[in-house]
Amino acid sequence: MIKVLSVTSEAAPLVKTGGLADVAGALPGALEPLGVQMRTLLPGYPAVMAAIGTGETGGKVVLEDADLFGGPARVIAAKTAGLDLMVLDAPHLFQRDGGPYTDAGGRDWPDNPERFAALSWSAAEIAAGALAGWRPDILHGHDWQAGLAPWYLRRRHPQAGVGSVITIHNIAFQGKAAPGKLAGMRLSLNDMTQDGVEFWGDISTLKAGLVAADRITTVSPTYADELLTPEFGMGMDGLLRARAGVLSGILNGVDLAAWAPTYKTTAGKKRHKEALRSAMGLPEAAGPLCVVVSRLTYQKGLDLLLAALPRLLERGGQLALLGSGEAGLEQAYLAAADHPHVAVRLGYDEALARLLIEGGDAILVPSRFEPCGLTQMYGLRFGTLPLVAYTGGLVDTVIDATPAGLRAGVATGLQFHPASADALSRALDRLCDLYATPELWLGMQRNAMRHPVGWDQSAAEYLALYQGLIRQE
């Protein structure tokens, strides 16, 4: 049995803002059959505390700290939602209205650096043996919020004999803080070096993890390669090239039970498509019903789709979009919805998101960069063909409908390159041509629904990574 402490700021279904939560929530169950006991250290947000309950049903206090970054805290062991949890109950840091990282108005909490430094500190203490009766073999941190965990472990407990892993889910989020935060994060000027946590004059907790961890992973093989380039490395490509020998890309998977289609053949999509049109107020159309479930941001390429949208509509296609994000994009899409074949809902609605993926003909993911992406995999699962940019995990999960791919009968979607409105317009033309050729379209849908998108292969790769660290020790 390999014991792993997973350190994350969110985990589905308890708290979720993006794909990190889906991965952190699914990985323990995927690894359990392989002999990995993974316990998840999660902040005690109000929703998490409510989920584990109070009193006798609220789990067991396994660690207490009279002063954890400004107030008393405790770690509570509990099992809920299929997760073996360690909840960091620190009310002065996490018992707040709003989201995990922002207040009710969408503004970052000013003490985010200290809040997640506290999470990392607690993780390092647990990894070093602070708990009676349980000590991990591996400390596995996710993204900048857990970036200091390997750093604290290495600096404070160099003889602990615990391997460490940091996973980059999106290098655009780097956990930056002003140098004035050093003391409040229990760091010193000795840490603020080029080989330490310093990043262009600021503190970067992600950089701390990339420097200190024994292994670095990211969420797709192609993204791992992209991170070594200035275009995608976001200023950290030099560090990652220096550590390329310990960097690997392990593709995310999806929970096959949670994302199981209610139909077994493509014909079963018809009623879902009708329900989607009814829910979004769309009429019948000759072309494909394209869907988007996404944050409305520059990264996601939704400005490119706005520019290419007229071509889809000219070809008789439709667009149904659910998302929120940059105010300018939100207003532009609301204006586009004046067209009878465009429907837009701002915000997020889990049930509507699922209906879009179940009922759409194609799901559009025109991202400028995409570490892995899950929506295209959900689309594959439901025979909703992905049209994706040629980047990151989108490359690793979608087989393009090239002439060779169609002749071989393996295509599952479409890719486009470069990330431009013109290239996307041409891809939408290709999509409409395929939709107008039913035998090709149905064949691609069948391929998509058979395409493996679960955790089996990726879980085996994580197991091998952990085993290698233990042998190394």
Go through the domains of the chain in sequence order and give each one's CATH number: 2-253+455-472 (3.40.50.2000), 266-450 (3.40.50.2000)
Q: What count of residues does the chain have? A: 473
Task: List CB contacts of 252: < 8 A, sequence separation 6 or more.
Answer: 19, 22, 23, 219, 220, 372, 374, 377, 393, 458
* Beta bridge pairs of residue 86: 41, 77
Give me the pLDDT at residue 57, please: 58
Residue 452 CA to residue 407 CA, distance in Å, equals 21
* Beta bridge pairs of residue 85: 40, 78
SS3 at position 73: strand
Residue 255 CA to residue 251 CA, distance in Å, equals 13
Q: Is the dihedral of CA 32, 244, 202, 233 positive or negative?
A: negative
Of 66, 424, 353, 393, which Cα lies nearest the Cα of 252? 393
Tokens 């292994």 correspond to 215
Residue-wise pLDDT tens for the chain (473 aa)? Answer: 999 999 999 999 999 988 899 999 999 999 999 999 999 999 999 999 999 985 455 789 999 999 999 999 999 999 999 999 999 999 999 999 999 999 988 899 999 999 999 999 999 999 999 999 999 999 999 999 999 999 999 999 999 999 999 999 999 999 999 999 999 999 999 999 999 999 999 999 999 999 999 999 999 999 999 999 999 999 999 999 999 999 999 999 998 988 999 888 888 899 999 999 999 999 999 999 999 999 999 999 999 999 999 999 999 999 999 999 999 999 999 999 999 999 999 998 989 999 999 999 999 999 999 999 999 999 999 999 999 999 999 999 999 999 999 999 999 999 999 999 999 999 999 999 999 999 999 999 999 999 999 999 999 999 999 999 997 65
Give me the pLDDT at residue 268, please: 87
Of 366, 362, 364, which Cα lies nearest the Cα of 417? 366
Helix/strand number for the chain, H first, E second:
19, 18
Residue at 207: amino acid letter? K
Secondary structure (DSSP) of 175-213:
-EE-GGGTGGGT--TTTSSTTTTEETTEEEHHHHHHHH-
* Burial of 143 (C-beta count, 10 Å sphere; 0-12/13-18/19+): buried
373: phi then psi, degrees, rounded to nearest 5: 85, 135
Determine whether the annotation assigns residue 79 to a binding site: no
Q: Is the dihedral of CA 200, 202, 204, 208 positive or negative?
A: positive
123: phi then psi, degrees, rounded to nearest 5: -60, -45
Task: List CB contacts of 6: < 8 A, sequence separation 6 or more.
Answer: 24, 27, 28, 38, 39, 40, 41, 140, 142
SS3 at position 244: helix
Give me the pLDDT at residue 473, please: 52
Residue 70 CA to residue 185 CA, distance in Å, equals 11
Burial 313-329 (b: 16+ CB within 10 A, else e): bebebbbbbbbbbeeeb
Of 373, 275, 292, which Cα lies nearest the Cα of 333? 292
Tokens, residue 255 = 């929970």
Secondary structure (DSSP) of 129-149:
T-SSS---SEEEEETGGGTHH
Residue 423 CA to residue 419 CA, distance in Å, equals 7
SS3 at position 36: strand
376: phi then psi, degrees, rounded to nearest 5: -65, -30
Q: What is the DSSP letter of 191?
A: T
Give me the pLDDT at residue 472, please: 62
Residue 287 CA to residue 240 CA, distance in Å, equals 45
